[in-house]
Amino acid sequence: MTAGEKAKAKTEQAEGKAKEALGEAIGNDRMAAEGQAKKSKGDAREAKEKAKDAFKR
């Protein structure tokens, strides 16, 4: 996995988790859902990069 893509995936996951937690804390369902979506996007990016690495070997 390239360092840039790995960092981007981790950043998306962290930002999504924080936004989701904030949305839940203040009772904003839309913000919580947006955070969950961003976290999922980061998870998907990480999985894609891991799959690419597996096929390189």
Q: What whole-number distance in Å separates Cα of residue 55 and Cα of residue 20? A: 33
Residue range 28-55: mean pLDDT, rounded: 93
Angle, alpha carbons 32-34-36 (nearest 5°): 70
The pLDDT-based confidence of 1 (bands split at 50, 70, 90) is: low
3-state secondary structure of 57: coil
pLDDT at 54: 83
Q: What whole-number distance in Å separates Cα of residue 33 and Cα of residue 38? A: 9
Residue range 7-12: mean pLDDT, rounded: 94
Read off the pTM: 0.83
Q: What mean pLDDT value characterizes the chain?
A: 92
Q: How far is CA 40 from the centre of its chain?
A: 5
